Amino acid sequence: MVLMNKPDIEAARSFIAANARVIDRRRFERMFEDGAASPVRDAVAAYRNADGGFGNGLEPDCRAPGSQPGTVAVALRIMDEADAWDISLVTGACDWLASVEPTGGGTSFVEPTVDGWPHAPWWVPQPDQSPSPIATGMLTGTLHARGFAHPWLDRATDAMWTMIDGLAEPGPYDMLGVVAFLQYVPDRDRAKAAFGQISKVLLNPDVVALDPEAPGEVHSPLEYAPAPGWLARELFGTRVIDAHLDHLARSQRDDGGWTFNWLAWSPAAEREWRGFLTVDALRVLRANGRL
């Protein structure tokens, strides 16, 4: 494999045109070509179910048609980042989350409706359907970033505080949800205090790889601090962040796209993730002044 020396947006545009889903083509148009918001909104809505949730492969690792919390998180994230926020779609999604809300609030990681459908091996419902830090954190983070209000969000926020207070040995995915929540929850004093308590976890080598060349399924500091102003920026420091931005820029493949470091369990999922992550890499690089 030959890596490019610097990010090439024209090569990325060609890769997206040749390989990406409609939704990721619309994301690229909106975020990098002055495209309208409505095509992004419409592309997200195509994955919506009658119950108000989202499914149907919007999250590439879950091919099930039924609504899933992780898929709703992707739908909200796309509408937020592309500034294509649609109140009716978001309200319907929160209503669905309330309809499957576990004891204690928040949301589970995977709903049982995934059974019998193709999905990544880690998309497995927990026996007790307990609240999930990653799913609940990602959802609440986006909703708070938008200043959205919904009864489910109030209960999910309480659930996140409870989960953070009870963290024992959180993994990297748990921490992604925790950091997203703390970045945007309105109680800033409590958020900063909680971040101080969990900051040591973020420096655990099992959670984040400070070496940008670390092999395997590792997590970059950019996943926890993708842009200036994020809480974790000071924790990692400028030198580490710059090294990872350099690595991200160099990681564009010779076909114009970016790829990922976790298991490619399905050819369809691999292709769809690459389209999604190519747009995402460009977003992060631009947010950090690298485009």
DSSP per residue, 207-220: T--SSTT--SS---
Are 207 and 172 a contacting pair, CB within 8 Å?
yes
For residue 211, which of 171, 244, 235, 239 has the smallest C-alpha distance?
244
Per-residue pLDDT band for 108 (boundaries 50, 70, 90) equals: very high
Are 119 and 61 spatial neighbours (Cβ–Cβ below 8 Å)?
yes
The residue-averaged pLDDT of 13-19 equals: 98
Do residues 88 and 106 make contact, with C-beta atoms less than 8 angstroms apart?
no
Question: How much is the average pLDDT of 119-137?
Answer: 93
Q: For residues 94 and 75, is the Cβ–Cβ distance under 8 A?
A: no
Does 5 have pLDDT greater than 90?
A: no
Check residue 126 and give its pLDDT. Answer: 86
Q: What is the mean pLDDT of the chain?
A: 96
Residue 241 has pLDDT above 60, yes or no: yes
Tell me how far apart the alpha carbons of residues 119 and 224 are, in angstroms, rounded to a whole number: 26
% of the chain exceeding 90 in pLDDT: 94
For residues 251 and 236, give the distance between their C-alpha atoms in angstroms, rounded to a whole number: 21
Cα 154–174–121 angle (5° rounding)?
Answer: 115
Compute and round to an integer the Cα radius of gyration of the chain.
18
Alpha-carbon distance 181 to 71, whole Å? 17
Rounded distance between C-alpha atoms, residue 173 and residue 123, angstroms: 13
Q: What integer pLDDT is reported at residue 144 of this predicted model?
A: 98
What predicted TM-score, i.e. pTM, was given to this entire model?
Answer: 0.96
Q: Where are the beta strands (DSSP E) in the chain?
A: none
- What is the C-alpha to C-alpha distance for residues 40 and 25, in angstroms, rounded to an integer? 9
Per-residue burial over 150-168, b = 16 or more CB atoms within 10 Å of its CB, e = otherwise: bebbebbbebbbebbeeee
pLDDT in tens, 159-214: 999 999 998 889 999 999 999 999 999 999 999 999 999 999 999 999 999 999 99
Residue 4: the pLDDT is 44
| Predicted confidence (pLDDT) per residue in 33-44, tens digit | 999 999 999 999
| Mean local confidence (pLDDT), 239-264 | 96
Per-residue pLDDT, 6:
76
